A and B are shown apart, each in its own frame.
Chain A
């Protein structure tokens, strides 16, 4: 890359080792391993039904794989739950949007500050000075994220009333509010127009560049993937068929076959 990165790509932060996941007789993922390096933008691509979202759900602890392990910063995590992963510093967005629909944009992003909120409900009920201080810190950080994502004008709107593209932005904002060291993005640009996609790319790269947040994203738009990611892993039928830099992936015969189909 031409420019100098503030955060040099470092050691593996997340390692997926020999994961296999099946729903009854249907094998979603078979013996898959790959890693994610600190501060990099890592893309997971593959045709529909390749097991990409299932992979993220395994990393995040929503699905329990029958085999294999997930390691975070070199340490194997035995009982993964979404909550434990959140506490380790892993945040995510969802493919079909999982926002809190009846809450405002600001409140949605404030929920992302949960792990930075230490006061108990009794303290909140009594509105002790401690609570006010903490609330102010969290609100300031949320406002910062809102202005970063350029959504100031909608911050008091209930999220359910927003168009799809903006909802995706809010979801990214909520993930950012956690101040996680790694963020999993499940199709952050699905259903967006070219302009919205360009905006989203800019945000992802800016976060990665300024905060050094490691990004793992699933995306279908090959142009985008090849543009913004440092390394790409390709899944097909639940197996890794290619892993490397965008240039390597584009030259990989197996990947080309998976996408274009082969004559039998």
Chain B
């Protein structure tokens, strides 16, 4: 299909329009309960953004990295300090700068990828997870010498207007996520994305074509960390509304990794699907536990069941559909679409034959 606008085909633009109408008009008019915004939509957008970061480094560039939560912590605490110490930057400025600070960490911790690969790189990138959290805990300056351990995040003020209601915060997250997703899609479909995928699929051939491994890998790590950093800042300021290093522990890194794999490696929409699944699944399981079994099953058992099912799903997806739910969705659409058109044609033919 021929692109009509930038790199987008007509179908992409329709999808984009549908998503925008859904998220800007339909969701705010029909969903009135705060719970949906504060507990589902806002964390979904933030985590989907972090998952895009993970996708860039893992799905597109093929570097097994585990430490997204570390970069998120870097972004969140950078944001806190920037608003506290450099208030002139404003919310959006601080968000961008905290992303850049996370990107600097990304470059630092992406350097091992030049020498080690696979599972060893995963272990090496774990350093980012532990180092960043340790650094924030160790030096009181990052927490503004707060002794309680949990710092309340500052209110979001953009151009003098406060954004404190759940709906307003949802719009802030939505705007940032939408813009960054578009940029990520542009990169993924353009020459930048081709270089990433070339490095992923066959690094020695990529190098022989003039793709610099050093530049490409470090670039992917930096961009990935930027996305994670911005996501972390939003996560802390819109969802948690507090800052504590414990919130960005390795469990969150694993969660993002799962979102990335279940959603579909090397897809941008997979990030959103994966994040939605992993966020909503426990909610679904809980409501099943409460409504079907009327609380007969203990909550701790339910959360254990959740882990078991996640593990099982990971194995199933790895074996049967390594490209994840995005691919599943694509297949479903194709199947459905072809059925629809073929039945349409049949109907048309039969109606025509009746007429003549």
Contact = CB atoms under 8 A, between A and B. Distances in A.
**Are these two chains actual partners, yes or no?**
yes
Contacts of B204: 62, 82, 94, 98
A138 B184 CA distance: 21
A101 B209 CA distance: 15
- Size category, A interface: 35 or more
**Interface of A: prevailing SS:** helix
A117 B191 contact: yes
Contact of A124 (B191, B197, B207, B211): B191
Interface residues of B, number: 29
B61 interface: no
Given A100-B197, A101-B202, A131-B191, 15 more contacts: A83-B208, A85-B208, A92-B208, A99-B202, A111-B211, A112-B209, A114-B194, A114-B210, A119-B191, A121-B219, A124-B187, A124-B192, A125-B192, A126-B186, A135-B191
B209 A91 contact: yes
9 contacts: A60-B208, A87-B210, A94-B204, A100-B202, A102-B197, A114-B191, A114-B194, A117-B191, A125-B184
B70 interface: no
A44 interface: no
Interface in B168-204: 183-184, 186-187, 190-192, 194-195, 197-198, 200-202, 204
Contacts of A115: 209-210
Contacts of B331: none
Contacts of B347: none
A221 B214 CA distance: 39
A86 interface: yes
Interface string B194-237: 11011011101111111111000001000100000000000000
Contacts of B164: none
Contacts of B223: 121
Interface string A145-188: 00000000000000000000000000000100010000000000
Contacts, number: 102
A102 to B, nearest CB: 6
Given A124-B192, A125-B186, A111 B198 contact: yes
A60 B210 CA distance: 12
A254 B201 CA distance: 42
A103 interface: yes
Given A83-B212, A98-B202, A103 B207 contact: no
